[in-house]
Amino acid sequence: MLQVYLPVAEISVNLLVMLGLGAAIGFLSGMFGVGGGFLLTPLLMFSGIPPAIAVATGANQIVASSVSGALAQWRRGNIDFRMGFVLSIGGVVGAFAGVLLVGLLSRLGHADVFISLVYVIFLGVIGSLMLAESLRAVWRTRAGKPATQKPGEHTWIHKLPFKMRFQRSRLYISAIPPLILGVIVGLLASVLGAGGGFIIVPAMIYLLRMPTHIVIGTSLFQIIFVTAVTTMLYATLNRSLDVVLALLLVIGGVIGGQFGVNAGQKLKGEQLRLMLAVIVLAVAIRLMIGLLVPPADLYSLAPMMVRP
């Protein structure tokens, strides 16, 4: 019984449970090469952390995992800094809007439902897509064909103005799509307390047509900015960041991450994606049940949130 009191969340949690949660998320993120925030925030919510605090603290934890991830990618030359900055500018704008939105909904008492609902939609859609794609890939490799996709051709995106040259991505495209993409990811990242890698990575590959090996590093690079700004905004505007909880999760995450990388190297890409798809769908279903099943207690208390 190692109880730790969280000074901002104002609840007591078990030290080992939170370290374990951080380690589990670190393991998954190391194994699958994802940030893990989109799993961390729901799991924190399941373990009784108020959603507004889960989101802010989740964002803080992602800063740590994306820094180490981005450094590793940078050593391999896989970051397009120019693209990363354009995405980050949009991301910061989106994060601002998201934090204000969550603050407003918290005061109205609707933050819990809103965060859960956005999660159900995104995890449901992405989980289903991943499941379908990985099942096809597994089936295709069984049939003896390589599990790859054909590169795309030019789309309407290439006809927009304000063109910029992105050297590392070998792209000459308008700055508008990356900026808008940044805003959307920033908004989602701040509402969900996740890095938003599960949105931005497919968008960069399929919409911006960036080379796949540059996408991971660049998205990690911009996630550092977006989650750092989100953390700052939650701390100053909503006062919903719990640094003690974040520290526990970070420590657990660092340890779990190393084991995850090793485990991930032993599995095939399609198998990994299939497993991740199943986990993502399971979390979405669990959140969905929480929204549909009549609550055990209809009444809840909350301190009056005073605008700082």
Partner 1 sequence: MRHVLTFLFASLLLSLGLTAAAEEQRPEVVQSDISMREISIQSNFTGVEIVLFGSIDFSKAPAPDEKPYDVIMVVRGPDRPLVIRRKERIAGLWMNGDSKTFSAVPDFYAVLASRPFRAIASEEMLKPLGIGFANLDYGKTVEGDNTDDEFRANLIRLQQEHRLFQESDDAIGFIGRSLFRGSVDLPVNVPIGRYTTQVFLFRDGKLLSQSQSSLQVHKVGLERVVYMLAYRYPLTYGLLAVLIAISAGLLAWTAFRRE
CA-CA-CA-CA torsion sign (180, 221, 230, 205):
positive
CB 123 within 8 A of CB 283: yes
Using the rule CB under 8 A, which residue among 101, 117, 131, 157 binds partner 1?
117
The nearest distance, CB 69 to partner 1, in angstroms, is 8
Crossing angle of helices 243-265 and 51-75, rounded to 10°: 50
Q: Does 7 bind partner 1 (CB under 8 A)?
A: yes
Q: Does 73 bind partner 1 (CB under 8 A)?
A: no
**Near partner 1 in 16-55, by CB under 8 A:** none
Q: Does 66 bind partner 1 (CB under 8 A)?
A: yes
Using the rule CB under 8 A, which residue among 97, 104, 254, 281 binds partner 1?
254
Total residues contacting partner 1 by CB under 8 A comes to 58
The nearest distance, CB 80 to partner 1, in angstroms, is 20
Using the rule CB under 8 A, which residue among 75, 159, 165, 268 binds partner 1?
75
CB 7 within 8 A of CB 244: yes
Nearer to partner 1, 123 or 175 (CB): 123
Q: Does 3 bind partner 1 (CB under 8 A)?
A: yes
Which range in 124-132, 174-182, 204-212, 240-248 contacts partner 1 by CB under 8 A?
A: 240-248
Crossing angle of helices 111-142 and 37-46, rounded to 10°: 130
Which range in 44-52, 181-189, 192-200, 287-295 contacts partner 1 by CB under 8 A?
A: 287-295
Phi, psi of 15 (to 5 degrees): -55, -45
**Near partner 1 in 126-165, by CB under 8 A:** none
Q: Does 266 bind partner 1 (CB under 8 A)?
A: no
With H, G, I as helix, E, B as strand and everything else as coil, classify residue 194: coil
Phi, psi of 113 (to 5 degrees): -65, -40
In 10 A of CB 179, how many CB atoms?
A: 18
In 10 A of CB 244, how many CB atoms?
A: 16
CA distance 290 to 284: 10
| AA identity, residue 143 | A
Nearer to partner 1, 144 or 303 (CB): 303
**Near partner 1 in 205-234, by CB under 8 A:** 224, 228, 231-234
CA distance 302 to 308: 17
Closest CA to 187 of 252, 98, 100: 98
Beta pairing partners, 11: 6
Using the rule CB under 8 A, which residue among 44, 55, 183, 246 binds partner 1?
246
Nearer to partner 1, 2 or 132 (CB): 2
Using the rule CB under 8 A, which residue among 144, 151, 161, 295 binds partner 1?
295
CB 270 within 8 A of CB 141: yes
Closest CA to 46 of 116, 104, 109, 108: 116
Residues that bind partner 1 (CB under 8 A): 3-5, 7-8, 10-12, 60-61, 63-69, 71-72, 75, 109-110, 112-113, 117, 224, 228, 231-236, 239, 241, 243-244, 246-247, 250-251, 254, 257-258, 291-295, 297-304, 308
